[in-house]
Every structure is written in structure tokens, then in C-alpha cells.
Structure 1
Amino acid sequence: MTRRIDIVEVGPRDGLQNDPSDLTTSQKLEFIERLAECGVRRMEAGSFVSPKAVPKMADSDAVFAGVDRKTGVRHIALAMNETGVRRAIEAEADEINFVLVAGEGFGRRNQGMSPQESADKLAACAPIVHEANIPLSATIAVAFGDPFDGDIRDGVVGGLAAQAQRAGVSEVGIADTIGVADPWVVRTRIEEVRMYAPDVYLRAHFHDTRGTGLANVFAAIEAEVDTIDASCGGIGGCPFAPGATGNVATEDVVYMLERAGFETGVDLSKLISVSKWLESVLGHSVPSALLKAGSFPSA
């Protein structure tokens, strides 16, 4: 049977949070609807963080109130503390993704906490999510490098994943938040996480800041990771990471995978059309290669 690779679309959250343009709530909802029509079945719809810190996500309550619950899409809410978790539950998020952080410098600037403090927050918040009967995942930010402190020591990411496993998290994402990973370290980090936390599913999240995004996706899939984060158009970046640029483009990832014979369940031609629409509402070009070159063979 053809191996299935599931795509988690992060454009409406990670993609828009650092974009120079400001979309209205209705435009965000249209973005989500268009992605659902492409076959996307899991996506980040918003984040419940401080509106002062991330003003572009200030309307996440309204976004979750407006999403179509009949499309079969799981709308994911990002949270970093108990306040965010409770807001996500109140908004009826289909899944809550809690952020851990592997780097001290980035953690202090992004979340106001150390790596261990972020794991302690997860341990405190997890019972609240479990009681609400909502799936809980965790993403380990800057898992491959901290923009302020450099490389992440061996064992840090694995240790955080182990604590997430003990907290009852079913899936752990390892995120190259600033786009410094290479395919070899991707394999090493995945092996580390599997050794420390053998009972969680793995998800990989890559940025193409230094041109290694698709190569890192390939490395993760070769290491038997079956879930990949990606952002329509390749938009995105973290407001707290200097020089951070967009995620791997969803259409570029889907093209590469489907050319190789993997199944994603995403309609590539529709996805390219969404990326084109996105350029028009953002008012600037997006990094997507497929939007410029088109698919192959052409329709």
C-alpha cells in the first residue's frame, strides 16, 4: 500500500503571525475554508497567547467561533500557559498544541521561561486539557538551534519529549524554528526523541530560512516520521527569532511527496490556487516555488 504522509497546515497561525500584512477575521476564515477545500484535515487555526506579544493572533477567539465545524477538519489552537489553554478550551478547539522550548535564550524572549519551566507548565496544564477530553500535542521550538545561544545540546530535546510523554501528550513535534537544521542532524534528533520518548507519535516542522527545508522533510520521512507541518505559500516566521523566514511551502512539500509516490490527500492544483489567492490578499509575493513554476506534468 502507498505510504500516507499527513500534512498539518500551519499557514493560518504560524504563517500569518509574522507576516507584514494584517488579514481581517473574515479573510482568515476564508483562508481556512479554502485550505479545507484542498483536502487539508488538520490545521493550526490560531493561538491563544498575549495579544500584546503577537497582535496578529488577537482575534483567535473570533476565528474559532467562525470556522465551519462540518468540514471534518481538526482546528488546532496553540497555547503556552494555563490562561491560553483555558481560552482554547472555551473556544472549543479540536486540539491543543502546547509549546515547549529547547533553548534558554529564545525561551526567555518568546515565553519568558526556561526549557524546564516550559515543561513544568505543560505538566501543570495537561490535566486541564485531558479533563476537557481534547487531544493534546506538544511542539518543541528551536529543537535544532537557538538564535541567541546557538546549537542545542544533545539530550535536551529528548528530555523535553520524555516529560511531554509523561504528561500524556500523544504527539510531539520537533521544530526547526529558525531554519538551521540539516538532514543529518534531523535524523540524529529524531533518533534521540525516539530513545527518550518511544510512545509518542512524531511530527516535524521545518523552516526554509537557509534553503534546507525540503531536504529536512525528506530526512524526516526517511526516518519514518509520517506527519509534516507546512504553510501554504511558504509564509511564516517567528516574531521572536531574528531573521526567521517562512515555513516550507505546503504545495512544495505535497509536490515532492506525490512525485515520489506518497499519498497526502491534498489536491495540489487547488492548493496552488489558494497560494495565488493568498498573494492577492497579503499584497506581496510568497516564497512558494510551485506557485512560480507550476506542477509537473502540467495539467
Structure 2
Amino acid sequence: MIMKKITLLILSFLTLNSFSQNFSGEIEYKYSIIPKEKSQYIDSIMELNKDVKINYLITDSFYKSTKYNEGEYVYSYTYDNISKRMYDDYADRAYITYRDSRKANYEYYGSTILKDSTEVISGLNCFLVKYDSEFGDSKSYYSDKIKVNYESFKDHKIGNWYEKLKEVDGSISIKNITEYEKYAEVRKAVKITEKPLGSNYFELPKDKIIVASYPALDKKVELIQPTKEQIELYQRQIKKASENLNDGENYICYLSFVLTKKGEVKYVEAYKEGSSYFDEKAVEIFTACNFDFSPGVIDGRKVSSQTYFPIEFKR
């Protein structure tokens, strides 16, 4: 009788422990676009994202989300709670940027937890949470079986991450739906693998420099007053390139570049490509003018950072 009680006690303990321990492992998500209307614009978005998968690694204090398109690495963001930074790495960039996770990136209005609204996803019973923010509506499904210690992500305000985790007792999103005007974006877990993850899983590439992102700066990069010669060269080249526009037309190109803490300009490129001719001209003109800038500042110290520079062509 005593042995039976001990056996039941041990089994009870093991069962409780398996449900309450913090999750550490890998979640593979399938990404898809659900159209709300038919248009060439929606078709192009669906074509670009027809074979997107997201690999998500998470353990207490760390996570990394990696996006693949047709098996090719596209982008990843990595967080560690020690530095309180989120690192963004794009496959086609020679540098990595970091954000301060303690600075919120959008306004969050509220949420509604619907424990009775359930769905079975990847074999897990999940409950629904609806969110409202300045970007619109979204909803996520969570399982009580997949949890992390939310206190290990304290002060993580980007994406309202800490507060979201806290209100669902550390549960990780198994399915997420973000609503846009013309389509919905769906991320759904298709495979969940529990395994221990050391800090080595979250190491950054060694072959790229790491710089501050524009939002991370306390004081932004500033253009130093150009010389008369620089201004004249800029105006002359803008006017000449603008001859390729029709009367009344204009085109704005936003350049992205890295300014080192020593004031050196590196990696100039069009931030969002539109017209290849004007994007190329913008880079050419910017480079020829050789403008000087004062570096961005964080905590009173000059830092290397990514920044932007608009160039407008008009006729």
C-alpha cells in the first residue's frame, strides 16, 4: 500500500513537472498569405511568399527567428536578455543592425483572451487571444503546454513581447493571423521539437560588422553643412537626372548607409527600390558629393549606425 502511494506520488510529480517546465527548442512555422480580394498586387505578394518557412528557436532569455524563402536564407532577428538588444540580419547586407528592446516600436491598445475559443494545432489544444494596436487587428493561438519563463524577457517592449507573454503565463504563439486591408498574413506551427539550447545557438555571424539601427539612436546622424561646391554639384546633377521625368513628375529615393563612429560612410544603397534608373542615380550623386555627417549617439557615446538620406528628383 505504501509503495503504491509512493508510485502514485512520483507519477503525479512527473506529470506535473512535464507540463510546468519551461519549453526550450525549435518551432517550424509555415507562412502563408490569405487574399481578401483579387488583384495583381495581391498575386505578386502571394508569388513572393509561396514557399516561406520560419524557423524559431527559443529558450529562457533568448530567441531567434529565421525566415527562408524556397529554402534560401532571407532574414533573421535574434534577441538576448543580457544586452537587451534585438539583432537584425539580412542575407543581402554586409552588416547587422541592433535595436534596443526596451524601446517600444508601436502603440499597443489592448487584448482579449478567449479561453473558450479553441483550435487544435499541431496536436495541441490552443486558446485564442485577440490584439488591437496602431497597426490594426491580429490574433494568436496559444497552448498551455508550450511555455517559457516570461520573467526572463522582462523589459522587452518591442512588439509588446513581455506583456504579451505575461498575460498568457509565458505561452508561445502556435498560430498567428495579422489582418491587413487586402489580405491576411498567417504563421502556423507545423513542427515543434523540444531540445536544450545553449547560447551558441544564438551567436551572430562573425563576418559582418554590427551597428546600431536608426531607431536605437538617442541622437540621430546629422548632415554637416555642405560646402558651396557640394551644394552646386548636388543641384546640377539632380537637375540633369530629372530631365528623364515628365513635366510635373517627381521621384523620391531613400538611401540607406552605415556611418561609422569615425564619420566614414559605407554600404550606400537604395533602401526601397522603385525605379532602377533613379535609384542608381541617387547612389551615384550621393557618392560624388561626398557629404560629411556627424555620427549618431547612444548613452552619450558616438556609435556606428545605419541611417537614411532622401534624394528627390522632380521636373
Query: The TM-score by the shorter chain falls in which range?
Result: under 0.3
Length-normalised TM-score, structure 2: 0.26
The structure having more radius of gyration, on CA atoms, is 2
Which one has more relative contact order, counting CA pairs under 8 Å at least 6 apart?
Answer: 1
